[in-house]
Structure 1
């Protein structure tokens, strides 16, 4: 028999009723569960039990909703700060504390939390055309790497610190480029320009109190405007040619100047040596003459004869001609050795005569033969005269 037919025990068989629930015949009564929960909460908070079943069901739903809201509130109020992060908590809009890494809780809406990564470097890119000191337009592209150094200042002091950073970067870059000439911006002055922009930008940021630290500035490119780029390329090539010619001239000077200095030093040393030699020779000749004068005073004739023989030896020793005086003859023989050796091929290009042993013997035989022939001729002429 169905539970809802007449005569049946509907209360006992109704699965949704409050009848017999033994033996696991149906699901539990939700109203009963809410009622029991409400009674326990009333007992905990000092409330009173009783009331109708409808009022008990409405109170139970309210309590559950209150518990769910409280759990959601706690879930949103608890937060974790990572090692790379920091958090600033404001209470009623006033600074309360700076939170370090770990598990924390705050109480919205009276508290507000600002959590940021303070170790990661962020990048801001900038490309603008600017006027240099010599009134030329250049286009500069650069990137700024920065991080948060003080989260409290970053949140409270400036309304939009990153926008302030962009404006301060433009101001610092214009100041540095406006004080530099065009060729410095386009060529070798880019690294120095980046350092100067960083120092000036950090000074601006510190004055603002924005809590930002500028890590590095990279000047990625500097160029002339596209409209006049070919003309600027010609100027750059001409400047590079100039520098290359100057470097080549400097290299030549570095090579030739030390050589010239060395040659000059060598000439100076040779001149000094010659001076010392002349002085030494003059002093030696003076000493020799003094000693010769002393000997001459002791034996004039012997000294005079010795001087004569030494002079003849010195003069005739440098001659390549031989004069032979024959005893008992009236003629002096002249032997042109230089002519004889030229005919024999014994003279060198410098005019000196070089003889080997065979040539000396042949020359001696020729001289002896010539002497005998002249001696015999002189004897015959003497007998005929008698």
Structure 2
């Protein structure tokens, strides 16, 4: 039997919670009473007066108050979501009814959701992503090329509105640009000193793609890391690299040798040129001096022919006698001439060089015999002259 049915077994008229009606209750509080107290407090807050005994008006006033509370909460939530702050490094694009409305700079801003929709991004931060893949070079070799692309957002409006996923488009454009550049470059250039030029070409081509798509992205740097061959052919590539290093080492040795020999040869050639130039200047100057001397002597000869002729003869004989080892002695009275040969000086002059020692000895012997014959001839001439007298 229910606890509130007439004639129930509960003679004490108690509710199931164990408390008496009108007495102290030990169970949960009455929900109607709790709502009633909340409505009274809200009515007092908003200035609405009501009679405590009018239950119907109290119920309708309570529903209105709950509606006001709900609307207030919704307004607070909307206001909280409508106010936003843009940092110094950020920008925000606001769309109204799905159409571009404005671009907002740093500061405290306000928009009207859900009519408006905003996209807020950091436009100064450098972003980067890495990529690696196997590619075919111009000479039909497969290599793995890892690279890193650094970029930032330069136009937030284009970044938000023109492309659905601009960063994904950037990655796909990077793959296309790298494959185009690697496919037009030989393997040696990719593996060695051609990486910087390739990185510059990839950056230029990638930026061209981004500008064509109007993604609002600026590529700041492309770092093309050391390319390598696939693991299946890595040993063969290592042999090629070692051979290339040997070639470079031999070139360095050859350049070192050339740097040591070529300057020396150039110095010797320059010295020979300077000697030849000096000899030429000397010969020309001597010739000019002789010509000037002859011109002056000719002038003097026209003035005094006999004196000039005698002086020239004496100077010539003096120069000739200085270069000969033979001495001719004459007498002042017109007697017979006496030829004197200084054999000791002739022997000394011929024995000055060690290689000519045998010839000097032979010359000395020949000179002695010649002197003996000349002395005997002179004596015979002297005797004949005396007999004639």
Q: Same-fold call, TM > 0.5?
A: yes
Q: CA deviation at 1:116?
A: 0.8
1:251 corresponds to: 259
Cα separation, 2, equivalents of 1:292 and 1:336:
41
1:359 corresponds to: none
Two-structure CA RMSD over aligned residues (Å): 4.0
2:285 corresponds to: 277
CA contact (8 A) 1:130 1:137 kept: yes
CA contact (8 A) 2:301 2:309 kept: no
CA contact (8 A) 1:320 1:337 kept: no
Cα separation, 2, equivalents of 1:96 and 1:225:
52
Deviations 1:241-299 (A, max 9, x none): 354256336534752464255235314412431441353144135325524642564x3
Q: CA deviation at 1:101?
A: 1.0
2:187 corresponds to: 182
2:345 corresponds to: 338
Q: CA deviation at 1:340?
A: 8.9
SS in structure 1 at match of 2:227 = strand
For the pair 1:214 / 2:219, whether they are aligned, the reply is yes
Structure 1: where are the runs of 5+ without partners? 1-8, 18-27, 351-377
2:248 corresponds to: 240
Deviations 1:66-103 (A, max 9, x none): 32232222222211110111111222322222111111
For the pair 1:129 / 2:131, whether they are aligned, the reply is no
Residue 149 of structure 1: which of 131, 150, 154 is its match? 154
Cα separation, 1, equivalents of 2:323 and 2:291:
25
Aligned CA distance change for structure 1 residues 276 and 304 (closer, same or farther; 3 Å): closer
Cα separation, 2, equivalents of 1:224 and 1:271:
66
Structure 2: where are the runs of 5+ without partners? 1-21, 355-378
Residue 37 of structure 1: which of 27, 42, 45 is its match? 42
2:177 corresponds to: 172
Aligned CA distance change for structure 1 residues 267 and 133 (closer, same or farther; 3 Å): farther
2:145 corresponds to: 140
**How many matched pairs?**
323
Cα separation, 2, equivalents of 1:335 and 1:326:
19
TM-score, with length taken from structure 2: 0.69
Cα separation, 2, equivalents of 1:259 and 1:167:
61
Cα separation, 2, equivalents of 1:237 and 1:71:
73
1:286 corresponds to: 294
Cα separation, 1, equivalents of 2:264 and 2:142:
43
For the pair 1:266 / 2:274, whether they are aligned, the reply is yes
CA contact (8 A) 1:81 1:102 kept: yes
Cα separation, 1, equivalents of 2:177 and 2:138:
15
Residue 73 of structure 1: which of 64, 78, 91 is its match? 78
Cα separation, 2, equivalents of 1:138 and 1:334:
97
After TM superposition, the structure 1 stretch with the greater mean CA deviation from structure 2, 202-211 or 172-181, is 172-181
Cα separation, 2, equivalents of 1:101 and 1:216:
27
Q: CA deviation at 1:313?
A: 1.7
Q: CA deviation at 1:335?
A: 4.3
CA contact (8 A) 2:301 2:308 kept: no
1:367 corresponds to: none
Cα separation, 1, equivalents of 2:253 and 2:167:
48
Cα separation, 1, equivalents of 2:37 and 2:240:
91
After TM superposition, the structure 1 stretch with the greater mean CA deviation from structure 2, 94-103 or 178-187, is 178-187
Residue 230 of structure 2: which of 225, 228, 233 is its match? 225
* Residues 365-380 of structure 1 aligned to structure 2 (within 5 Å): none
